[in-house]
Amino acid sequence: MTRTTMSDVTSTDGVTGEAMIPTTSDAGDDLVAGAPSPASVGVAESRVRRAYARIAEVDRPEVWISLLPESSAIAAARAVDARLADGAVLPLAGLTLAVKDNIDVAGLPTTAACPSFATDPAGRPGQAPATAPAVQALVDAGAVVLGKTNLDQFATGLVGVRSPFGAVRHATLPDRVSGGSSSGSAVAVALGIADIGLGTDTAGSGRVPAAFGGLVGIKTTLGLVPTTGVVPACRNYDVVTTFTRDLDLGVVATRTMIGADPTDPARRSWPVDVRLGLRSAPVVAVPRDEDLAPLSPGWRAAFDAAVSSVRATGAQIRTVDISGMLSAARLLYDGAIVAERYEAVGPFLAGAPDADPTVLSIILSGRDTPAHAYVADRARLAVAKVEAEQVLAGCDLLLLPTTTEHPTIAAVQADPLAINRRLGTYTNFVNLLDMAAVAIPAGEADGGPFGITVLSRAFDDQLALDLAARLLPSADDTSAPAGKPADRSDAAPLLVETGVDVLVVGAHLRGQPLNGQLDELGARFLREVRTSDAYRLVALDTQPRKPGLVRAGPGAGAPIAGEVWRLSPGALGTMLADLPAPMSLGQVELADGTWVVGFGCTAESGSAGADITSSGGWVAALRQGL
C-alpha cells in the first residue's frame, strides 16, 4: 500500500502535463511483447498495454462482463496522450478504469449481471446510449475505460457470487469470496489490472470488497457523486464509489466525480460551513465489546490492534453504544425499505429467465409492501438518525471493523442469506443514516486482508479521509508502523473544492493559544509562508498576547513568518464575526507575490505596539523574549 503523489508526465514531443500516476509503477515499464518501443508510446498507451498483458497473465474471466477490445482501449489511450501533447492538464492521465456493470458506458451493454436486462424487446443486445456523468468526468480527466465488471446481480449482495457470469474469486485466496456487490471492480484493482475501480454502495458494496481486497474504498455523503446512468438498487441510498490501491488516488478520482451532473435529482452540495480539516487530537468513537460480538476471533483481535493505531495518532478514544445503529441496519432488508429495491428493478426481474434465485427472493419480497409500512420505516429511520447523532455527540468520527469475517465461496453458497447478513453488520446502516465512510486496509486476520472503516457525519467526508491518511503509510515511508502521530502536513488530499485561504501570523499559529479556534472551525493547515517585505510586526497589549501585522509599503518592512490555513466560507464568517478589536482581516501579499486574506490590526493599534519586525515572526519573537 502506497500513497499516490503527483508526478510530471512528459509526452513524446516533450510537452509536460501534470497527471496522477501511482508511484509503485512507472508507465513505460513492462510493455507487452511485440508492442511499439517505449520511445514511441505515450504514458496512457503504455499503461493500457500493460493492463491487457496483466489480464492475460491472471486469467480471471469472471471479473469481466464486457471487456473492450485492446485495440479500442489503445485508441482511447492515444487520444489521451494527444491531449497531453497539446498541453492539456489531465489529473488522471494514463490511469485505467474498471466500471461496475450497473453503471452506463456508451457503446457497452449494461447488464447489472442479468444478461436479459441488456436486451431490447426483440431480444437483441442493447448498448448504453450515453456514459454516466460520473464515469464521463473520469474519462474527461484522462482515465481510460477497460470494460465492465461482474457484480452481485442488481447490486444485491455483499458476497460476489450471485451472478450468472460466475462467482468472482478473491484476488489471492481463490477459495474465498471477493465481497460484493462490486466484486469485479475491486478484484480488477487488487490484481493490478485497473488503477481505479468504480463500484456502487447501498449497503456496503463499496466497503466490504475493499476490506477483503486490501484496498481503499471511498463512499461519499449521499448525493455528492451523481447516480445518473446507474441502475438503481435503492434510489434514496445509492452511492457511486471508488476502489484504489492508495488513498490519494481515490480522493482525486472521487473529487473528479463530485457534482458531475447538475441535473441529478438527488444532487447535494457542500454546505457553506463544511469542515475542511481534522483536528490534531480528534475524538474517535469505537463500539462497546458487546457490539463487537459478531466478529470472528481473528477479526476482533485485528480491530483491537487498529484501535491502538488510532490512539497512537494522538486521537482520543471514546467507547459508545452503537446498538441503535445496528438495529437501524436491519430496516434495509428486513423492513419495508426493501420496497425501494422492488421499485427499481422488481417488475423486470419477476419475469427474467436469468434471475439469480437469491436476488429474486430478496427483491420480490418488497413487492407487496404496503405504503403505510414504508412510511413508518422511514419515520423510524428519522428517529434513528437523531439517536445516532446523540450517541456520537462530542465525537468527530466513528471507527468500525468493515465487516465480521472472510467466508469461503462454498460456505456462502451453502448459506447465502445468513452469511451475507452478517457481512453487512457494520455497513448496512451507514447510507440509511446519511453517513460518509472510508474503508482502508489495516493488516491481516484469519490468513487474509483485514479492513476498518472510518465513518463521519454527512459532509464531514474530509475528516474521515484525514484520519485514514494518518493510519496509512505514506509513499515516502511504507515501512512506518500504522498510527503515525498527527501531522497536518501529511493529510489526505482535499476532497472539497471550496474554501478561503487565510494567513495567520500570531496566536492562531500551530502551538499557540488560539490555534484551537481553527481546530473547532474545521480549518485546514496548508503551508508555512512568509509575507513580502512590505509589512511590520508589532506586539499588541492584548490577552492572550498577540501580534499585529501592519502594511508599511514595499521594502519598508521585512518578510514575516506565518501559516496559511483554508476555511470554509461559513467558518471564515464565524471567525470574522467573533474577531476582537483591534484585529482585522484584509488582503496580505506573500513573498511569492500572491495575495491571501490575512490577520492584521488597525493603524492606531499598530502605532501604539512595540515593533518586533526584526524577529521575523511571532514565534521567534517569543523565543527572544520580545
Average pLDDT over residues 556-584: 94
Q: Is the pLDDT of residue 602 over 90?
A: no
347-381 pLDDT per residue, tens: 999 999 999 999 999 999 999 999 999 999 999 99
At 236, give phi and psi (nearest 5°). Answer: -75, -10
The verdict on 406 and 427 lying in the same domain is yes
381-425 pLDDT per residue, tens: 999 999 999 999 999 999 999 999 999 999 999 999 999 999 999
DSSP class of residue 338 equals G
Confidence at residue 391, expressed as pLDDT on a 0 to 100 scale: 98
The verdict on 399 and 469 lying in the same domain is yes
Closest CA to 428 of 113, 157, 103: 157
The verdict on 457 and 508 lying in the same domain is no
Local confidence band at 250 (pLDDT 50, 70, 90 cut-offs): very high
The verdict on 464 and 565 lying in the same domain is no
Confidence at residue 123, expressed as pLDDT on a 0 to 100 scale: 61
User: What is the distance between the alpha carbons of residues 225 and 138, in angstroms, rounded to a whole number?
Assistant: 12
Q: Is the pLDDT of residue 16 over 80?
A: no
- How many alpha carbons fall within 13 Å on the CB side of residue 491? 23
CB 237 within 8 A of CB 202: yes
* Structural domain boundaries enclosing 414: 60-67+93-490
Task: Please count the helices (runs of H) and the strands (runs of E) in the chain.
Answer: 20, 21
Confidence at residue 507, expressed as pLDDT on a 0 to 100 scale: 93
Of 466, 490, 514, the position where a domain reaches its end is: 490
522-561 pLDDT per residue, tens: 999 999 999 999 999 999 988 888 999 999 999 999 999 9
At 494, give phi and psi (nearest 5°). Answer: -75, 125
Average pLDDT over residues 456-484: 80
All cell numbers assigned to 203:
449497503
User: What is the distance between the alpha carbons of residues 65 and 163, in angstroms, rounded to a whole number?
Assistant: 10
The verdict on 426 and 480 lying in the same domain is yes
Confidence at residue 626, expressed as pLDDT on a 0 to 100 scale: 75
Q: Is the pLDDT of residue 24 over 50?
A: no
Confidence at residue 7, expressed as pLDDT on a 0 to 100 scale: 30
User: What is the distance between the alpha carbons of residues 161 and 172, in angstroms, rounded to a whole number?
Assistant: 16
Average pLDDT over residues 62-73: 97
Select the more confidently predicted residue: 417 or 38: 417
- What is the helix (H) or strand (E) element at residue 517, kind and residue range? helix 515-520
What does R_g of the chain's alpha carbons equal in angstroms?
26
Local confidence band at 99 (pLDDT 50, 70, 90 cut-offs): very high
Confidence at residue 604, expressed as pLDDT on a 0 to 100 scale: 83
Confidence at residue 35, expressed as pLDDT on a 0 to 100 scale: 47
Domain assignment present for 471? yes
User: What is the distance between the alpha carbons of residues 325 and 385, in angstroms, rounded to a whole number?
Assistant: 8
Task: Provide the number of structural domains found in the chain.
Answer: 2
Of 456, 490, 524, the position where a domain reaches its end is: 490
Q: Is the pLDDT of residue 30 over 90?
A: no
Domain assignment present for 73? no
Burial of 379 (0-12, 13-18, 19+ CB in 10 A): exposed
Domain assignment present for 578? yes
The verdict on 366 and 259 lying in the same domain is yes
267-326 pLDDT per residue, tens: 999 999 999 999 999 999 999 999 999 999 999 999 999 999 999 999 999 999 999 999
The verdict on 316 and 436 lying in the same domain is yes
Name the β-bridge partners of 503: 564, 598
The verdict on 351 and 276 lying in the same domain is yes
All cell numbers assigned to 607:
502605532
Average pLDDT over residues 190-217: 98
Domain assignment present for 37? no
> In 555-611, where do the E strands start and end?
561-567, 583-589, 595-601, 610-611
Confidence at residue 124, expressed as pLDDT on a 0 to 100 scale: 60
What is the average pLDDT value for the chain, to the nearest integer?
A: 90
The verdict on 485 and 607 lying in the same domain is no
Q: Is the pLDDT of residue 475 over 90?
A: no
Confidence at residue 482, expressed as pLDDT on a 0 to 100 scale: 59
Average pLDDT over residues 135-151: 98
CB count in 10 Å sphere of residue 601: 24
The verdict on 370 and 223 lying in the same domain is yes
Q: Is the pLDDT of residue 93 over 50?
A: yes
Domain assignment present for 616? yes
Domain assignment present for 230? yes
Average pLDDT over residues 66-71: 97
Confidence at residue 125, expressed as pLDDT on a 0 to 100 scale: 66
Q: Is the pLDDT of residue 474 over 90?
A: no
The verdict on 144 and 241 lying in the same domain is yes
User: What is the distance between the alpha carbons of residues 572 and 553, in angstroms, rounded to a whole number?
Assistant: 27
All cell numbers assigned to 568:
470554509
Domain assignment present for 302? yes
User: What is the distance between the alpha carbons of residues 398 and 396, in angstroms, rounded to a whole number?
Assistant: 7
Of 436, 455, 490, the position where a domain reaches its end is: 490
DSSP class of residue 446 equals T
Domain assignment present for 50? no
Strand order in the sheet with 524-530: 524-530, 561-567, 500-504, 595-601, 583-589
Average pLDDT over residues 68-87: 97
The verdict on 439 and 557 lying in the same domain is no
Select the more confidently predicted residue: 538 or 5: 538
- What is the helix (H) or strand (E) element at residue 65, kind and residue range? strand 64-67
Query: Hey, which residues are catalytic here?
Result: 100, 181, 205
User: What is the distance between the alpha carbons of residues 105 and 585, in angstroms, rounded to a whole number?
Assistant: 49
Confidence at residue 122, expressed as pLDDT on a 0 to 100 scale: 60
CATH code at position 376? 3.90.1300.10
CATH code at position 568? 3.10.490.10
DSSP class of residue 460 equals -
Q: Is the pLDDT of residue 28 over 60?
A: no
